[in-house]
Amino acid sequence: MADQPRDESLAPGGARDAPDAEAPAREPQAERRRDPAGTSDNARSPEPAQPRPRDEPMRPGQKFRAQDGDRTGRRDEDRRSGGHFRQAIREELASDRTAVRGRDANGDGVISEVIRLENVYLSFDRPILEDVSFSAHEGETIVVVGESGTGKSTTLKLILRLLVPDQGRVFIDGKDITGLSFNDALKERQKMGMVFQGAALFDSMSVFENIAYPLREHTEMTEEEIEARVREKLQFVDLDPDQVMPQLPSELSGGMKKRVGIARGMANNPEIMLYDEPTSGLDPLTTGTISRLIKKLQGELGVTSIVVSHDIRSSFFMASNIALLANRKICFFGTPEEMAASDDPYIRDFLGGL
Amino acid sequence: MRPSSHSLPHLPAFLERINTAAKKRVHTIQDYFTLAWNALRFIFARPFYAGDLVQQMDAIGVQSLGLVILTGFFTGAVLALQASVQLRTFGATIYIGRLVAGSVILELGPVLAGLMVAARVGSGIAAQLGSMKVTEQIDALNTLGTDPIKKLVTPRVLATLIMLPILTIINDAVGIFGGNVVAAVLLDVVPTPLYWRTVWEQIAAGGFSLRVIPNDFIQGLIKPLVFGGIISITACYFGLGTTGGTEGVGTSTTRTVVTASILILIVDYFLTQILLSVLGQ
């Protein structure tokens, strides 16, 4: 074992990690490169049969060309058919999805409708939404997906009553909030927590002050109670309270900001949580962390969530229902299983494209 | 957000454009005055953000002090300098004090302090609120159940209304003192006690209201009050209306300083007209 190179990633024909399914296709190539006196079943050899690619720095003007043996991170089959991505979707659907079904969160024996949009029309200089309707029940997570600029964030603002629809109505807990005055709408928003795209933390306040803000505004909690609640929420989002609480938002990384944003959104234990692209711009590891966090909120606290997302994989992971916004309408509303099984060409494009 | 849905008769294309542009102007002015009205009436509405008010008073008043002292001193000094030349023709150099005091208290003090503060405070407020707007912090405030006008605009407007008259008084005092330094010490055209006596004569010459309040002081303090309102509301208006990311913040800041400065100069004229007629001059 001692004579094998430490870093196998540079070995040409790197056939390490080749799963069995791919091995038959790979073998012939690997054979050719193997040192005649080659070692075990893996195509590792202490001396490469060919000069290593990229040994010399590229000359100015030389074009990059991927050669055999370069690890480009994708296999040929995947590039053609999007199979790698479909594999991911299949894995998500096969996992335990009981947690994403609606559930009776407030214990009144009924899974009631928490949010409902009814025939909503909205336009600014141009029409944004036309005849949009959907509803969310207790404990469900609705993920709104669609191309950029199709009005996904606008939908969240309609639910929050930051915008008023031109036509149609919005119901929260059965109450029509469309016609409410500014102050009444302000009160309705106490039931909701919102996580903005950039977290929108108040940059003149520390993390502690940020999370404590809704508590100070709306509750009569004492300072000790507030501190206890802030610690609890920070622990829920997997941050170290003592380290993070005195820091300013500008000192945090993107993932930490998002998590603090989530902590602030849930500070008041709202029954509805709204997320505007919670995982955009984050690295894959942090994306996974945030997705699991959202699912944890739903699973442990039975919060109803509306998530606007670009990330199809995590959408499938956490959604009870997916709403696809296109052409100013909802062109699909259903479970992720139904979406994956759909025949519609646009949907297949949407899921297959990367 | 609700476009009007009644059908109007169609106008020819160029009239349509003028119509739209005119409506936009009117809406802008309407929004401006709505913001002003709300900002002022929320001074008396709960919840009171006293902490924010004090913080703004520090940022706007205390931190503009150095600027105002410098401006005031050199304004008064250069006035005395020029006055000594001009008054020499009439042999009236002993009256430098009257000229400096009159100009500074009535016009140069309020207007120049207003312009300096418009530049410093106006740009600061616009940039601060503009940055909050583009990073969705204003939306976040709304979401967390806080009225951004009550929390952000009213403390800033009230702080400016309180602080600018105080800053102007300091400006005036330092200005007249600067005139003293030039006239009595540097140029030695008038002895110091005589200088201050002529200053007092000038103030008294404007007449008194309510027996003890000099009219000049009334003019010189109502002006900063009005200017303070103009500066803060313009800054908040442009700041909260910022669109377009960081570039938009720069645009808002520039427009604030320019608009506030121009408004100060224009309103100064009309205000002076009104005050002069009210005070019976």
Angle, helices B96-103/B154-180, rounded to nearest 10 degrees: 170
Residue of A163, A200, A217 with shortest CB distance to B136: A200
Nearest 10 degrees: Cα torsion B76, B78, B82, B84 = 60
More confident: A271 or A46: A271
Once rounded to an integer, what is the mean pLDDT over residues B163-176?
Answer: 96
Predicted confidence at residue B103, as pLDDT, reads 93
Name the residue in chain B with its Cα closest to that of A276.
B136
Task: Give the tens place of pLDDT for each residue, A119-172.
Answer: 888 888 788 888 888 888 888 899 999 887 778 888 888 888 888 888 888 988
CA distance A175 to chain B (A): 18
Instruction: Give me the phi and psi of A239, to 5 degrees please.
Output: -115, 150
Token reading at B236: 């908040």
Query: Which of the residue ranges A291-305, B36-50, B110-124 would you say has the lowest mean pLDDT?
Result: A291-305
The predicted structure's pLDDT at residue A1: 41
According to DSSP, residue A257 is labeled: H
| Number of C-beta neighbours around residue B51 at 10 A | 9
Q: Phi and psi (nearest 5°) for A22? A: -90, -15
Q: How far is A189 from chain B (nearest CA, A)?
A: 6
Whether the pLDDT of residue A45 is over 70: the answer is no
Q: Which helix (H) or strand (E) holds A272?
A: strand A272-276
Out of A303-307, B259-263, B264-268, pick the least confident. A303-307
Query: Which pair of tokens denotes residue B29?
Result: 């002015």
For residues A264 and B97, give the distance between their C-alpha atoms in angstroms, rounded to a whole number: 61
Structure confidence at residue A14 as a pLDDT band (50, 70, 90)? very low
Per residue in A227-263, pLDDT (tens digit) is 999 999 999 888 999 999 999 999 998 888 988 999 9
Q: What mean pLDDT is predicted for residues B88-112?
A: 92
Tell whether the model's pLDDT for residue B114 goes beyond 90: yes
- pLDDT band, very low/low/confident/very high, at B58 (cuts 50, 70, 90): very high
Cβ B174 vs Cβ B167: under 8 Å: no
**pLDDT at residue A163 in the model:** 86
> Which residues in chain A are contacts of B124 at CB distance < 8 A?
none
Percentage with pLDDT > 90 across chain A:
17
| Among A233, A235, A257, A255, CA closest to A247 | A257
- Is A55 or B178 the better-scoring residue by pLDDT? B178
- Point out the residue among B3, B5, B136 whose CB comes nearest to the CB of A198: B136
Question: Distance from A57 to chain B by nearest Cα, in Å?
Answer: 39
> Distance (Å, rounded) from C-alpha A143 to C-alpha A309?
7
Q: What is the mean pLDDT of residues A102-115?
A: 70
The CA distances from residue A160 to A192, B64, B175, in Å, are 8, 40, 53
- Whether A12 shows a pLDDT value over 90: the answer reads no
Judge whether residue A48 has pLDDT over 60: no
B81: confidence class by pLDDT, cuts 50, 70, 90: very high
Q: Using the beta-carbon criterion (under 8 Å), do A200 and B1 form an inter-chain contact?
A: no
Q: For residue A160, which residues of chain B lie inside 8 Å, CB to CB?
A: 142-143
Q: What is the mean pLDDT of residues B264-271?
A: 96
Helix axes B154-180, B109-117, angle to 10 degrees: 130
> How close, in Å, is residue B166 to chain A by CA atoms?
27
Q: Cα A149 to chain center, whole Å?
A: 18
Q: State the distance between the two ends of chain B, measured CA to CA, in whole angstroms.
A: 49
Name the residue of chain A whose CA is nearest to B133's CA: A200
Percentage above 70 pLDDT, chain A: 70
Inter-chain touch A182–B147, beta carbons under 8 Å? yes
Q: Which residues of A touch B143 (CB under 8 A)?
A: 160, 162, 189, 192, 194
Q: Report ipTM (2 d.p.).
A: 0.75
Contact: A200, B142; criterion CB under 8 Å = no
Predicted confidence at residue A91, as pLDDT, reads: 67
Please say if the pLDDT value at position A31 is more than 80: no
Q: In chain B, what percentage of residues exceed pLDDT 90?
A: 70
Residue of B nearest to A197 (CA): B136
Structure confidence at residue A264 as a pLDDT band (50, 70, 90): very high
Chain-centroid distance, C-alpha A208: 25
Distance CA B200, CA B36 (A): 37
Q: Do B140 and A166 touch (CB under 8 A)?
A: no
pLDDT in tens, A315-347: 888 888 999 888 888 888 888 888 888 888 888
The CA radius of gyration of chain A, in Å to the nearest whole number, is 25
Q: Looking at the predicted structure, is the pLDDT value of residue B41 above 80?
A: yes
- Residue A86 pLDDT: 64
With an 8 Å Cβ cutoff, are B1 and A160 in contact? no
Phi-psi region of A240 (alpha: psi -120 to 50; beta: other; left: phi over 0): beta
Whole-angstrom Cα distance, residue A303 to residue A141? 8
pLDDT confidence of residue B8: 61
Question: Hey, are the CB atoms on B145 and A202 less than 8 Å from each other?
Answer: no
Q: Which two tokens stand for residue A136?
A: 């969310």
Residue of B nearest to A159 (CA): B143
Q: Which residues of B touch A162 (CB under 8 A)?
A: 139, 142-143
Tokens of A196: 């903005």
Mutate which: B137, B144, B149, vs A, most A CBs within 10 A: B144
Section A256-279 average pLDDT = 90
Decide if A197 and B142 are in contact by the 8 Å CB cutoff: no
Which candidate, A105, A123, A118, places its Cα nearest to that of A304?
A105
Are B147 and A123 an interchain contact pair (Cβ–Cβ within 8 Å)? no
Q: Smallest Cβ distance to B140: which of A124, A182, A200?
A: A200
Pick B139's closest partner by Cβ from A182, A200, A201. A200
- What integer pLDDT is reported at residue B177 of this predicted model? 94
- Kindly indicate the confidence band of residue A35, based on its pLDDT and cuts at 50, 70 and 90: very low
Residue of A nearest to B49 (CA): A217
Residue of A nearest to B5 (CA): A166
Q: Find chain A residues with C-beta within 8 A of B5's C-beta.
A: 166
**Residue A173 reports pLDDT greater than 90:** no
Beta carbons of A182 and B139 less than 8 Å apart: no
Say yes or no for a CB contact (<8 Å) between A189 and B3: no
- Give yes or no for residue A26 having a pLDDT over 60: no
Query: Which of B131, B142, B147 lies at the smallest CB-CB distance from A162?
Result: B142
For B12-28, the pLDDT digits (tens) are: 888 888 988 999 999 99
Residue A263: per-residue pLDDT: 92
Chain B residues with beta carbon closer than 8 angstroms to that of A163: 1
Q: What torsion, rounded to 10 degrees, do the Cα atoms B136, B139, B144, B147 define? A: 130
Residue A57 has pLDDT above 80, yes or no: no
Which chain A residue lies closest to B144 (C-alpha atoms)?
A: A214
Cα A137 to Cα B197: distance, rounded to the nearest angstrom? 82
**Which residues in B lie closer than 8 A to residue A202 (C-beta atoms)?**
132, 137, 140-141
- Give the A-side interface with B, CB within 8 Å: 122-124, 157, 160, 162-164, 166, 182-183, 186-187, 189-190, 192, 194, 196-198, 200-203, 213-214, 217-218, 264
Mean pLDDT computed over every residue of chain B: 91
Q: How far is CA B92 from CA A204, B75, B96, B182, in A?
A: 56, 21, 8, 16
Length of chain A counted residue by residue: 354
Q: Which residues of B touch A192 (CB under 8 A)?
A: 143
Mention every residue, 6+ apart, whose C-beta is less than 8 A from residue A251.
Answer: none
Determine the Cα–Cα distance for residues B163 and A2; give it in Å rounded to an integer.
Answer: 78
CA distance A146 to A322: 10
Q: Which residues of A240-266 are buried (b: 16+ CB within 10 A; e: fewer)?
A: ebeebbeeebeebeebbbbbbbbbbbb
Question: Cβ–Cβ of B144/A124 closer than 8 Å?
Answer: no
Rounded mean pLDDT of B166-187? 93
* pLDDT tops 50 at residue A3: no
pLDDT at A308: 92
List Cβ neighbours of A262 (8 Å cut-off, separation of 6 or more): A195, A237, A275, A278, A290, A293, A294, A297
